[in-house]
Amino acid sequence: MNPYIDAFREPTPARALARRITDLASQIPKDRRPFRIMEVCGSHTMAIARYALRDALPPWIELISGPGCPVCVTDPGYLDAAIELAHRGARVFTFGDLLRAPGSRETLTDARAGGGDVEICYTPLAAVEAARADTERPVVFLAIGFETTIPPAIRAAVEAHHAGLKNFSLLTAFKLIPPALEVLASDASLQIDAFLLPAHVSAIIGATAYEGFVRVHRRPCVIAGFEPLDILYGIENLVHQALAGQACVENQYSRVVRPFGNPRAQNLIEEWLEPEDAVWRGLGVVPRSGLRLRSDRAEFDAARRFALKITAGRPHPACRCGDVLRGILHPQACPLFGVACTPERPVGPCMVSSEGSCSAALRYRVSMRNVE
């Protein structure tokens, strides 16, 4: 029993919110339908599928999952480099959902079956502990993720630094949400009318971090928590903004997100990292959408320490994850979905990660409504 989770899952207010959205959405003129809302957060994707929130909305409100799952947007070339590290004798630590994500030729699971030392951890601090326990062997933490996961990974490097460990490093592929929003909003073919902004990314960067984006791109934006009532209320507010002709950043997750975010986390990022262009599956190269270790922190950079060349990987030729991540293909419309590509034998990362759109669609049998 957790009062701050359970209270946001109660069915009676959920039904009331769904009715309010339906009433409000009836005012959306026919020529502005469908009204397409994109979320850019794997936990939103999961919650929307798990609680069948699409089924509670009128059919002309479309919820589109964008590139919000960190594993899904990671280029296979990064996995190739991680796999190479395992083959070269490093102890590779990773969050579990990266384990079966396909590289160009194999997965980390394959590398492990082939004798590579690949270990799952729930916190990057476990990798630091492993480095401390055996200082002879190099330990690499696979540091992917958005703004939420970056401070924990860097804190692990700080711990290693304070402990004087010379055998700990990060293989980074950090990504930033605001530059991705720019790309998504600039692509008219995606026809995104509004954005449901991520909860815990926003906890780090703050609600004001999106103001420049909204000023330029003029889309309604609401920061919402992950629980069903949060999401439904977020949707109601997005429709409200659209009908009023407004486009602003509303923070409906003020119990966690502050206007200027978490200064400790931001200082850590500032001290250790610098912007770089990053490759996103589905979006291609997005300028200054990634963060890499600064050159004065090079000793913690696995790519530099192991002289790894991270090149663009080769996804499976039939995989449509890129289109799924841009919201132009519904997971069920992919010819591989549930047949050639399943959670047991995934072809693309969106079926691997528990936060992936395809995995969510299959696990919760998301209705085929709105499939083009």
| 3-class DSSP state of 207 | helix
Among 40, 131, 185, 203, which residue interacts with other proteins (rule: CB under 8 A)? 203
* Residue 353 within binding range of other proteins, rule CB under 8 A: yes
The site map against other proteins for 294-333 (x = CB under 8 A) is: ----------------------------------------
- Cα separation, 334 vs 330, in Å, equals 7
51 in contact with other proteins (CB under 8 A): no
Instruction: Tell me the residue ranges of DSSP E strands in 233-315.
Output: 249-251, 273-280, 284-293
| Min CB(44)–other proteins separation in Å | 9
Residue 189 within binding range of other proteins, rule CB under 8 A:
no
Nearer to other proteins, 40 or 362 (CB): 40
Q: Does 10 bind other proteins (CB under 8 A)?
A: yes
Q: Does 148 bind other proteins (CB under 8 A)?
A: yes
**Separation of CA 287 from chain center:** 18
Residue-wise burial string across 166-200, b where 16 or more C-beta atoms lie within 10 A, e elsewhere: ebbbbbbbbbbbbbbbbbbbeeeebebbbbbbbbb
Single residue of 33, 87, 132, 200 touching other proteins by CB under 8 A: 200
Nearer to other proteins, 202 or 241 (CB): 202
| Assigned token pair, 244 | 């009023």
Distance CA 66, CA 85 (A): 30
Q: Give the contact letters, 96-125, x = binds to other proteins (CB under 8 A), - = no.
A: -x------------------------xxxx
Q: What is the 3-state secondary structure (H, E, C) of 113-167?
A: HCCCEEEECCCCHHHHHHHHHCCCCCEEEEEEECCCCHHHHHHHHHHHHHCCCCC
Q: Which helix (H) or strand (E) holds 64?
A: strand 61-65
Binding footprint of other proteins on the chain (CB under 8 A): 2-5, 7-8, 10, 12-13, 16-17, 20, 41-43, 70-71, 95, 97, 122-126, 145-146, 148-149, 151-153, 155, 199-200, 203-204, 226, 229, 233, 254-258, 262, 264-265, 268, 353, 355
